[in-house]
């Protein structure tokens, strides 16, 4: 069994020079070949799992400080990364196995193989909304695929960034995996380096900056971005369940979730009943005054609080609307009578505000979804299979969840990622391994004989070629 090295603490916010030095050391570590062995990868995954368990209370406290994240939500959505580690541990051997590929008759005797190999030194940049899980979950794929990794957590969740850096430093040799902390300047200094892959989670605008930086070195990217994820509600539903599932998906982490339902498109006939049930669900979850609930998170920064407060003017407040600048509180809010041109319908909301738009015919809802960039998630609430199929076939989105929200992100067997402006590439489970691997095609020939049909002189061989090509 390979020993997991105990690493030295690293310096926060290193200079560009220090980043260059870190990179060189990681490259040397990768070149040593250590990361390729199954036993090594397994040991590192097991070490990561132990580290998450050991640092659990620190992580929860940091998430509380950064986002007032309720403990249950933190377990479910952040510490829950342990399930992803377990899945990788369970399947690692099978993922690493080369696959054979059938070779055509004219190539015989020959064997074909497709071998996964690690990419090298990879960069993982994370956002602030699920600041722990969104650093570690891609890291699971990077380790499983046999890479070295440099992590750059978000400076907007500084306490969690610290804990991630500490956990990583206590668990891994920094020449293998390390963290650099800091804001935009550090991110830009890191992006100036040549990596073998960049895995970025964040907003679409910064995604473009990351991709431009990667292009300088022709580095491949995975971009896990955001967007406006629609929630289409047909009339054939169980109203209370639908209401609870939408309210929950919209309000965990106070709406600061990349796949939160961004806006609601609801059949006009069911709208009054659904809104009444949603109001009841908000009260059931958070009481008459959600600002007093221990289960309701806060907005991450003053800047985001101000941005969100502006949206409250974009429609008629049906539920909620209360705010408090000091505690960065925004009440669970439903907005009616919203203009499609209003900022709340043009920008990703990323907060606890849900605009509602009624439709008379499903085609109207589909047309509206199609008029916007392809979203990261799309939600369909309907018992009617034809309605489900029509929406599935006529819209494009990173993923879809039918009759629930958010939950499709959880199973490791479902790749998670965006399409178009909501992202490039996907991860979770085997998809994470694939994201951080290069699949190398290998053909093996032997020396049994050497037919001369392809060699010059070509005279008399053309007819044979024509028959081969068909
Ligand atoms: P962001 O894009 O502002 O920041 C993400 C990271 O990029 C941070 O680490 C930050 O330091 C760095 N960064 C910021 N400006 C930069 C610049 N100019 N150059 C280089 N690096 C820079 O995103 P955010 O505000 O932290 O997160 C919110 C966004 O992330 C939302 O749009 C949300 O939908 C998206 N998101 C997507 C997913 C997903 O899985 N697809 C998950 C969570 C969040």
When pLDDT is cut at 50, 70 and 90, the band that residue 13 belongs to is low
Is residue 447, in this structure, part of any structural domain at all? no
Please report the pLDDT score of residue 264 as a whole number.
98
Per-residue pLDDT, averaged over 284-288, amounts to: 96
Ligand 1 site-directed mutation target among 67, 202, 300, most atoms within 8 Å of CB: 202
Query: Are residues 127 and 215 both part of a single domain?
Result: yes
Tally of structural domains, the chain = 2
Per-residue pLDDT, averaged over 22-35, amounts to: 97
Is residue 453, in this structure, part of any structural domain at all? no
Sign of the CA dihedral with 343 first, then 347, 350, and 356 last: positive
Is residue 203, in this structure, part of any structural domain at all? yes
Query: Are residues 133 and 270 both part of a single domain?
Result: no
Query: Are residues 188 and 309 both part of a single domain?
Result: no
Please report the pLDDT score of residue 1 as a whole number.
35
Query: Are residues 309 and 160 both part of a single domain?
Result: no
Is residue 151, in this structure, part of any structural domain at all? yes
pTM of the shown model: 0.94
Query: Are residues 355 and 217 both part of a single domain?
Result: no
Site residues for ligand 1, CB cut-off 6 Å: 125-129, 134, 152, 154-156, 183-184, 187-188, 191, 201-203, 206, 209, 224-226, 258, 348, 350, 376, 418, 423
Is residue 467, in this structure, part of any structural domain at all? no
When pLDDT is cut at 50, 70 and 90, the band that residue 11 belongs to is very low
Question: Is the predicted pLDDT of residue 102 greater than 70, yes or no?
Answer: yes
Residue tagged 């979770």 (tokens): 428
Question: Is the predicted pLDDT of residue 396 greater than 60, yes or no?
Answer: yes
Rounded to 5°, the CA angle 230-232-237 comes to: 145
Question: Is the predicted pLDDT of residue 8 greater than 90, yes or no?
Answer: no
Please report the pLDDT score of residue 9 as a whole number.
40
Which of 417, 432, 456 is the last residue before a domain boundary?
417
Query: Are residues 74 and 131 both part of a single domain?
Result: yes
Angstrom CA distances, 366 to 262, 278, 305, 372, stand at 15, 23, 31, 10
Q: Tell which residue, 390, 356, 364, 414, has the closest CA to residue 84.
A: 414
Which structural domain, as residue segments, surrounds residue 260?
233-417
Bridge-based pairing state of the strands 423-424 and 220-224: antiparallel
Query: Are residues 201 and 245 both part of a single domain?
Result: no
Question: Is the predicted pLDDT of residue 349 greater than 50, yes or no?
Answer: yes
Is residue 2, in this structure, part of any structural domain at all? no
Instruction: Could you list the beta-strand ranges (E) of 202-351.
Output: 220-224, 230-233, 263-267, 316-319, 323-324, 329-330, 333-336
Per-residue pLDDT, averaged over 275-281, amounts to: 97
Per-residue pLDDT, averaged over 351-361, amounts to: 98
Q: What is the CATH number of the domain that holds 188?
A: 3.40.605.10
Q: What is the CATH number of the domain that holds 389?
A: 3.40.309.10
Query: Are residues 156 and 23 both part of a single domain?
Result: yes
Q: For ligand 1, atom 13, name the residue with the nearest CA.
A: 184
DSSP 79: I
Structure confidence by residue, pLDDT tens digits, 309-342: 999 999 999 999 999 999 999 999 999 999 999 9
Residue environment code for 332-360, b if the CB has 16+ CB neighbours within 10 A, otherwise e: bbbbeebeeebebbeebbbbbbbbbbbbe
High-pLDDT (> 70) share of the chain, %: 96
Is residue 5, in this structure, part of any structural domain at all? no
Q: How far is the CA of 329 from the centre of ligand 1 (A)?
A: 22
Please report the pLDDT score of residue 4 as a whole number.
35
Q: For ligand 1, atom 9, name the residue with the nearest CA.
A: 154
Question: Which of ligand 1's atoms lies nearest the C-alpha of 348?
Answer: 32
Lowest mean pLDDT among 3-12, 136-145, 419-428: 3-12
Please report the pLDDT score of residue 6 as a whole number.
36
Instruction: State the Rg of the chain over Cα.
Output: 25
Question: Which of ligand 1's atoms lies nearest the C-alpha of 226?
Answer: 34
Please report the pLDDT score of residue 465 as a whole number.
83
Structure confidence by residue, pLDDT tens digits, 253-268: 999 999 999 999 999 9
Query: Are residues 199 and 272 both part of a single domain?
Result: no
Question: Is the predicted pLDDT of residue 15 greater than 70, yes or no?
Answer: no
Q: For ligand 1, atom 16, name the residue with the nearest CA.
A: 184
Please report the pLDDT score of residue 2 as a whole number.
38
Is residue 465, in this structure, part of any structural domain at all? no
Question: Which of ligand 1's atoms lies nearest the C-alpha of 202?
Answer: 30
Query: Are residues 87 and 128 both part of a single domain?
Result: yes
Query: Are residues 300 and 208 both part of a single domain?
Result: no
Ligand 1 site-directed mutation target among 203, 211, 224, 255, most atoms within 8 Å of CB: 203
Structure confidence by residue, pLDDT tens digits, 451-463: 888 899 999 988 8
Q: Residue 448's Cα: distance from chain center in Å? A: 50
Distance CA 467, CA 470 (A): 5
Distance CA 44, CA 243 (A): 42
Query: Are residues 104 and 184 both part of a single domain?
Result: yes
Angstrom CA distances, 198 to 149, 215, 398, stand at 10, 11, 19
When pLDDT is cut at 50, 70 and 90, the band that residue 52 belongs to is very high
């Amino acid at each position: 069994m390979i020993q997991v090295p105990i690493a030295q603490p690293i310096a926060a916010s290193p200079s560009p020079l220090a980043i260059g030095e870190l990179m060189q050391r990681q490259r040397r570590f990768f070149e040593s070949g250590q990361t390729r062995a199954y036993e090594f990868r397994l040991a590192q995954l097991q070490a990561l799992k132990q580290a998450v368990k050991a640092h659990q209370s620190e992580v929860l406290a940091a998430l509380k400080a950064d986002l007032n994240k309720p403990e249950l939500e933190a377990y479910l959505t952040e510490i829950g990364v342990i399930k992803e580690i377990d899945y990788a541990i369970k399947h690692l051997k099978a993922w690493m196995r080369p696959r054979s590929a059938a070779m055509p008759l004219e190539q015989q005797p020959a064997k074909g193989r497709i071998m996964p190999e690690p990419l090298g030194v990879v960069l993982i940049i994370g956002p602030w909304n699920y600041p722990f899980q969104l650093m570690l979950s891609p890291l699971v794929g990077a380790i499983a695929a046999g890479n070295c990794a440099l992590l750059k957590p978000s400076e907007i969740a500084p306490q969690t960034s610290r804990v991630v850096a500490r956990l990583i430093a206590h668990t891994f040799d920094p020449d293998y995996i390390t963290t650099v902390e800091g804001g935009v300047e550090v991110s830009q200094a890191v992006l100036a380096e040549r990596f073998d892959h960049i895995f970025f989670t964040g907003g679409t605008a910064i995604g473009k900056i990351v991709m431009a930086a990667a292009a300088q070195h022709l580095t491949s990217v995975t971009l896990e971005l955001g967007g406006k994820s629609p929630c289409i509600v047909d009339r054939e539903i169980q109203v209370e369940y639908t209401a609870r599932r939408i309210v929950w998906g919209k309000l965990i982490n106070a709406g600061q979730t990349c796949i939160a339902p961004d806006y609601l498109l609801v059949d006009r006939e069911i709208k009054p009943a659904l809104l009444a049930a949603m109001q009841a669900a908000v009260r059931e979850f958070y009481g008459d005054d959600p600002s007093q609930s221990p289960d309701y998170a806060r907005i991450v920064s003053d800047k985001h609080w101000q941005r969100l407060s502006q949206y409250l003017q974009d429609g008629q407040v049906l539920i909620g609307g209360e705010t408090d600048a000091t505690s960065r509180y925004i009440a669970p809010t439903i907005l009616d009578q919203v203009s499609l041109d209003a900022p709340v319908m043009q920008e990703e909301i990323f907060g606890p505000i849900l605009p509602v738009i009624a439709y008379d015919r499903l085609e109207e809802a589909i047309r509206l979804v199609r008029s916007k960039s392809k979203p990261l998630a799309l939600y369909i609430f309907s018992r009617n299979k034809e309605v489900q199929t029509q929406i599935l076939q006529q819209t494009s989105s990173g993923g879809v969840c039918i009759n629930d929200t958010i939950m499709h992100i959880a199973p490791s067997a479902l790749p998670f990622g965006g399409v178009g402006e909501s992202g490039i590439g996907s991860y979770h489970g085997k998809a994470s391994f694939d994201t951080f691997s290069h699949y190398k095609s290998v053909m093996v020939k032997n020396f049994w004989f050497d037919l001369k049909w392809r060699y010059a002189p070509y005279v008399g061989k053309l007819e044979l070629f024509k028959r081969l090509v068909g």
